[in-house]
Amino acid sequence: ASGMRKDLVGVDLYYLGMLHWIAENLDGTAERLLKYIASGDAAADRSQTARSIVVVVLAKQKKTEDAERILADYVKNEPQKLTERARMEGELAKAYQVQRDFVRMAPHAEEAFKASKALLADASSRSRGLDEIRDNGMLVFEAYRDTGNAEKAVGALDELIASAVSTQSPSLYYYAADAKITYL
């Protein structure tokens, strides 16, 4: 490691952060990408992508407070991508689910579900989109089920069923209907 350059700036930090991300080195990813964002010469689109990855990293590390702060920065800036928003919100929902903090989980699950449904309009990401809708819709259902809000829990499953009908997905329909029958 003694041969590593210490004078990385700007876009080099971004690409180094992305290499750490690919290598699943979460600490290295967050450290480099946060430095890149703070560098002042960061391009808007790369800064947003960097923020989105940092939120995912922090959520995976259960550092929810820090993740919330970076997510708030993401939401205040442009450009925003539905794929990034769905991923960040979904990871935060899962982090809160693990902590059994279903009250904090619910709004993130809702945002992830909303972004996933909007993404489905793009035909190129259809199969991935259906998987994301199912996963994020179930996060919304689980958040409300586990806070004891039966009305909103059933509402989330009904929304999943409606998504299945509008996308003509028999497998999603069956999955959501089965979850509703099991729950009720």
For position 84, what pLDDT does the model report? Answer: 95
Per residue of the chain (184 residues), what is the pLDDT tens digit?
444 555 667 889 999 999 999 999 999 999 999 999 998 878 899 999 999 999 999 999 999 999 999 999 999 999 999 999 999 999 999 999 999 999 999 999 999 999 998 887 765 566 777 888 999 999 999 999 999 999 999 999 999 999 988 888 899 999 999 999 999 9
3-class SS string, the chain? CCCCCCCCCHHHHHHHHHHHHHCCCHHHHHHHHHHHHHCCCCCHHHHHHHHHHHHHHHHHCCCHHHHHHHHHHHHHCCCCCHHHHHHHHHHHHHHHHHCCCHHHHHHHHHHHHHHHHHHHCCHHHHHHHHHHHHHHHHHHHHHHHHHCCHHHHHHHHHHHHHHHHHCCCHHHHHHHHHHHHHHC
